[in-house]
Amino acid sequence: MKKFLFFALAALTFAACETDPTGNGKEPSITLYDVVAELVYPAEFAPSEGIEIVAKNSNGTTTTATTDSEGKASFQLPEGKYEFSASDKRALDGYSYTFNAMVSNLVISESTTIQLEMTGSRSGQILIKEIYAGGCQKDDGSGVYQFDKYITIYNNSDQVATLNNFGVGMANPSNAHASNGNYVDGVLSYADQGFTPSASGIWFMQHPITLQPFEEKVIAVNGAINHTTTYTNSVDLSNADYCMYDPEVLANTSYYPAPSETIAVEDYMKVCFIGLGNAWAFSAICPGVFIFNLDEGIDPLAYGQAEENIYYPAGNEGNAVYACVKIPNEAILDVVDIFSAEHLDESLPRFSNTLEAGYTVLTNKLGYTSYRNVDKEATEAIVENEGKLVYGYAKGTVDANGATSTDNSGIDAEASIAAGAKIIYLDTNNSTNDFHQRANAALRD
């Protein structure tokens, strides 16, 4: 995810106190100085208690101390040249922040207080783990069933994530290979405008949502019911965590049947719909999906209907069929651009390069799903995962063009999760690297 670096200068002051000799005069005295190390965070982050600061002497000895509630840790160190370092992880508004501070070659010759400027990098904490959009074959052979779409979002960190104004959008055009009025002279017209248009409107949660570390939430795009009772190749969404359901606006009961009674009403997402028809037509071929978190205090419904936040692709100005809501890129947590295997050559990217540097390919109608790859190195680095990771992943597929699509990590993420592992998924802002086409929806595992 986007990384933001925070630069600062470290200011050092020294203070020391001389320890009295042992009194017998037999051994040379070692003078220990009181050193207070203080972690300095960016303004929006409060100091944390319990963060370990390491002071490493040039002779190789290390001393550690943990911070108090003010972010200060106290050392007693002998004179020498030191390297101070600290590391901290935080989560805010759907992003993970990793803070690091390090000061080298610091000479301690007296008691002093030092400040360690915590420099943070932001990465995607909440990711789209899976998009099941292409549908499956009906049991009677009459064709494809596609009213069973869902999206899984995932907390890709060991930090709790809280999103106050979470929403889902879909890029325009609904299909990547469709006539695309967003390209002017071969350039994506909004690429440098700081926003991404969401076709026909947006869906938003009615309350803040919280995802525990490595927790996922399933969002039923349409039909939060058990589809498998009729379509055995489909999925059971009756236990979805959230669902898109707003019958006051979109009352198409085929596309939006009343959600399973097991789903709490507060977990219904509401829609700001500015298109035409009675459904938010989520592409069953190759959607461009993004999740976002608007600033707290913004009313998504009013925001999406405000004239200044409406966007039309060139050639379709004023045409409600093509009306889009502009979502600031800063608010976007993750995007996935899906191209149809049948129309790969005709497809155009729908996101700016900074959001999405690639795409993933889907052959629809066969129950395939777009599934995020595992970050093998990071996942294996989690100590608790030892013995819990399941290898030999075999749910990759061969797409319509004969290309193999699989997770090269070899880790079967779903099986590993079932075994108690914590999975860190790959997040390079490039779905070509980050995603593969999985043989079946994860909910069918």
Interface positions with another protein (CB under 8 A): 138-143, 145, 147-148, 223-227, 229-231, 234, 238, 247-251, 253-254, 257-266, 268, 273-274, 276, 278, 301-302, 305-307, 310-312, 314-319
Report the residue number, 50 or 315, with the smaller CB distance to another protein: 315
The whole-angstrom separation of Cα 415 and Cα 357 is 29
Q: Where are the beta strands (DSSP E) in 125-215?
A: 126-132, 136-137, 144-145, 150-155, 161-163, 166-170, 183-184, 187-188, 195-199, 201-204, 209-211
Q: How far is CA 154 from CA 219, 279, 333, 384, in A?
A: 11, 26, 11, 19
Of 180 and 238, CB closest to another protein? 238
The backbone torsions φ and ψ at residue 273, rounded to the nearest 5 degrees and listed phi first, read -105, 120
Give yes or no for a contact between 227 and 148, defined as CB atoms under 8 angstroms apart.
yes
- For residue 229, the minimal CB distance to another protein (Å) is 6
| Minimum distance, C-beta of residue 316 to another protein, in the bound complex (Å) | 5
CB 120 to another protein: min, Å: 37
Peptide bond connecting 173 to the previous residue in cis, omega within 30 degrees of 0: yes
Q: How far is the CB of 375 from another protein (least distance, A)?
A: 36
Residue length of the chain = 445
**Contact in structure between 156 and 216 (CB atoms under 8 Å):** no
Shortest Å, Cβ 338 to another protein: 24
Measured from the CB atom, the residue of 184 and 381 that comes closer to another protein is 184
Nearest to another protein of 160, 276 (CB atom):
276
Give the residue with the Cβ less far from another protein, 145 or 203. 145
Q: What is the 3-state secondary structure (H, E, C) of 297-335?
A: CCCHHHHHHCHHHEECCCCCCCCHHHCEEEEEHHHEEEE
Short-list 13, 114, 25, 34, CA closest to 79: 34
Report in angstroms how near the CB of residue 169 gets to another protein at its nearest. Answer: 18
184 Rama sector, left if φ>0, alpha if ψ -120 to 50, beta otherwise: beta
CB nearer another protein, residue 121 or residue 316: 316
Work out how close the CB of 258 gets to another protein at its nearest, in angstroms, rounded to a whole number: 4
Please, what is the end-to-end C-alpha distance for the chain in angstroms?
Answer: 29
Residue in the block written with tokens 């938003």? 204
**Neighbour count for residue 271 (Cβ, 10 Å):** 26
Question: Please, which residue, 220 or 355, has the CB nearer to another protein?
Answer: 220
Q: Judged by CB, which is closer to another protein: 280, or 292?
A: 280
Closest approach, Cβ 136 to another protein, in A, equals: 12
CB of 347 to another protein, least distance (A): 22
The CA distances from residue 38 to 54, 67, 75, 383, in Å, are: 12, 8, 11, 29
SS3 359: coil
Question: In which residue are the tokens 């980050």 written?
Answer: 434
CB closer to another protein out of 22 and 319: 319
Cβ closer to another protein: 59 or 142? 142
Which phi and psi (to 5°) does residue 444 adopt?
-90, -5
Please report how close the Cβ of residue 266 comes to another protein at its closest, in angstroms. Answer: 8
> DSSP state, 385?
G
